[in-house]
């Protein structure tokens, strides 16, 4: 996908999300700033020859009401932020040219005593070089991580997790996500069925969602499925899923 097509897809995404203001969507100024930055790149021919980088900072969503099965209990009316960064080796958006991908989800809420609580997840791309002590899928999800540690340091206080142990492992394999796929993930996992179905009924979202799946998910799953047709041939499937 070229830069113009990617910008047009992000424009369509912004338009769709604006229709959900007050219905789960809180702030998409980070998306609009990211699109504006990419448009400035379009205006300078020399810059268009540089590698394509997409950076969408801290879109925010409202998760209203009480959440089920939380620790600590009573978390309610949360704010979820989403940030997406993708860097490519060349000037086009191509799956095989990904050199960096980070998708950060941060959730802020209060417990039943009104005390602030936070949760964080992130999707990373890591092209492992050399030996790795533990399983390290090229695209992987992790809970916690630096976003959670940084918030603890900012408060300059001891973080009491009670009987809960937070660890670096496991890194869970997951298909890559661009801003479109990440927004779909937020709707499907945090805003509820009604919002998610409404999103997926928007014609413009259907189109950009399909394009994103073709760009990022098709080569990802083809890379894994290729292992089963020829398991004795070295393949990047092992990098995507070291457990094969």
Across the range 225-230, mean pLDDT stands at 85
Residues 10 and 6: their CA atoms lie apart, in Å, by 6
* Residue 129 pLDDT grade (very low, low, confident, very high; cuts 50, 70, 90): low
| Per-domain boundaries in the chain | 3-228+236-240
Give the pLDDT score at 149. 63
| Amino acid 161: pLDDT | 65
The predicted structure's pLDDT at residue 106: 94
Q: How many other C-beta atoms lie within 10 A of the C-beta of residue 48?
A: 14
- The pLDDT score that the predictor gives to residue 167 is 75
In terms of C-beta density within 10 A (0-12 exposed, 13-18 middle, 19 or more buried), how is residue 116 classed? Answer: exposed
pLDDT of residue 77: 85
Give the model's pLDDT for residue 231: 78
Q: Read off the pLDDT of residues 167-221 as tens digits, 9 standing for 90 and up.
A: 777 889 999 999 999 999 999 999 989 999 999 999 999 999 999 999 999 999 9
Contacts of 135 (CB under 8 A, 6+ apart): 170, 171, 242, 243
pTM of structure: 0.91
């Amino acid at each position: 996908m070229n830069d113009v097509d990617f910008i047009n897809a992000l424009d369509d995404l912004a338009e769709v999300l604006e229709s959900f203001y007050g219905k789960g969507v809180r702030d998409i100024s980070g998306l609009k700033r990211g699109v504006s930055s990419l448009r400035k790149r379009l205006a300078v021919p020399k810059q268009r020859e540089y590698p394509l980088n997409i950076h969408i900072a801290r879109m925010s969503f409202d998760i209203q009401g009480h959440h089920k099965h939380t620790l600590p209990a009573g978390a309610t009316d949360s704010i979820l932020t989403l940030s997406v960064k993708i860097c490519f080796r060349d000037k086009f958006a191509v799956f095989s040219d990904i050199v960096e991908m980070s998708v950060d989800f941060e959730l802020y809420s209060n417990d039943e005593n009104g005390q602030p609580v936070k949760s964080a997840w992130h999707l990373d791309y890591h092209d492992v070089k050399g030996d790795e002590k533990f399983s390290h899928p090229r695209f992987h999800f992790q809970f916690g991580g630096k976003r959670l540690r940084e918030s603890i340091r900012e408060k300059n206080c001891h973080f009491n997790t009670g009987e809960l142990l937070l660890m670096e492992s496991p890194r869970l394999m997951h298909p890559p996500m661009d801003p479109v796929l990440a927004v779909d993930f937020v709707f499907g996992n945090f805003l509820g069925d009604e919002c998610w179905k409404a999103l997926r009924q928007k014609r413009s979202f259907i189109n950009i969602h399909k394009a994103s799946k073709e760009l990022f998910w098709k080569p990802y799953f083809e890379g894994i499925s290729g292992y089963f047709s020829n398991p004795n041939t070295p393949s990047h499937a092992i990098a995507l899923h070291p457990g094969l």
